[in-house]
């Protein structure tokens, strides 16, 4: 199998949604010029990360799927002959909204949707106010470049999500992400959080024998409701192979279009020497469906 050239688009987001989307489309074109066949955009790339506060007016920014953003991304996928994975604040019905990843193929348009399953509710990340947990399960999306296991941000901390995508036949795991540093965290804590983020996703690659693509935003975004606070997103978008080996990584504080070649044949080779799926004790895992063993 020929290597698959992938690109991750990491950039800052300003207050103008149309300008942000225009920037994403320009970076998609730049990635395609470099031969990318698959482009992954960051989480909620059309706007600033609005979940720093709870504000009902923000629901006005949501859109249907299919809708304006998917139409523009589909046109870009067709124009460049590539697959694009984007991220949309989805308005499904009045009072029903999702954090939704969308997959656009070159000749078929919108071919798949994944609604974020794990929804955080932490200081600066009040997503439960905005997003209903996904109800589509962990189903890979078939595309012209392979079967994509698309997950979103907070999903990246849950090995069950990565495993279920792998068991359903995903050939790549993709995580559009928005994560960064809290202003009150000291440098040592910031380093621990950043390392944990990297290790968790590289661990998913190792344990499932699959390449992982994680695309994060970068730059500082203020919290409109709390002067002096905000989130400094730590960038660091990366691609790793099926043994967790880093194939490429973007800077923390700079915008970047990271282009990396992924050896699609390595999954088969790695799984032959590390046959984790063979040795799973599926007869002994029933307790995983419990919240906790008291």
**Pairing verdict, β 146-150 and 172-177:** parallel
- Nearest Cα neighbor of 211 from 256, 265, 252 is 265
**Annotated catalytic residue, options 13, 116, 215, 221:** 116
Which DSSP string do the residues of 180-202 spell out, in sequence order? EE-TT--HHHHHHHHHHHHHHHH
128 is catalytic: no
**Annotated catalytic residue, options 13, 51, 90, 153:** 153
Element (H or E) spanning 80, and its range?
Answer: helix 68-80
**DSSP symbol at 63:** B
Rounded Cα distance between 190 and 195, Å, is 9
**Annotated catalytic residue, options 13, 43, 215, 221:** 43
Across-strand partners of 258?
Answer: 8
- Nearest Cα neighbor of 159 from 136, 138, 184 is 138
Q: 69: number of CA atoms within 13 Å, CB side?
A: 29
Rounded Cα distance between 13 and 19, Å, is 9
43 is catalytic: yes
- Give the active site residues: 43, 116, 153
């Amino acid at each position: 199998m020929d290597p698959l050239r992938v690109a991750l688009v990491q950039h800052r987001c300003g207050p103008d949604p149309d300008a942000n989307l225009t920037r994403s489309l320009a970076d998609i074109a730049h990635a395609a010029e470099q031969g990318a066949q698959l482009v992954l955009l960051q989480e909620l790339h059309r706007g600033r990360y609005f979940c720093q506060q709870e504000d009902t007016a923000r629901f006005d920014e949501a859109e249907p799927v299919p809708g304006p953003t998917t139409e523009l991304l589909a046109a870009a996928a067709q124009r460049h002959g590539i697959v694009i994975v984007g991220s949309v604040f989805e308005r499904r019905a009045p009072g029903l909204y999702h954090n939704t990843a969308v997959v656009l193929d070159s000749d078929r348009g919108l071919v798949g949707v994944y609604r974020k399953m794990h929804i955080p509710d932490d200081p600066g990340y009040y997503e439960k106010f905005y997003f209903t947990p996904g109800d589509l399960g962990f189903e890979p999306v078939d595309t012209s470049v392979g079967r994509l296991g698309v997950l979103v941000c907070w999903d990246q901390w849950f090995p069950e999500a990565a495993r279920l995508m792998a068991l359903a036949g995903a050939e790549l795991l993709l995580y559009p992400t928005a994560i960064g540093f809290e202003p009150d965290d000291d440098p040592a804590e910031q380093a621990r959080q950043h390392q944990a983020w990297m290790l968790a996703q590289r661990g998913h690659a190792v344990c499932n024998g699959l390449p992982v693509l994680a695309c994060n935003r970068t730059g500082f975004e203020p919290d409109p409701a709390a002067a002096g606070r905000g989130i400094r997103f730590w960038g660091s978008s990366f691609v790793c192979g099926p043994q967790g080996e880093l194939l490429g990584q973007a800077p923390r504080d700079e915008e970047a279009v990271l282009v990396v070649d992924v050896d699609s044949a390595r999954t088969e080779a790695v799984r032959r020497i590390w046959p984790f799926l063979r040795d799973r004790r599926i007869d002994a895992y029933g307790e995983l469906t419990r919240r906790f063993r008291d």
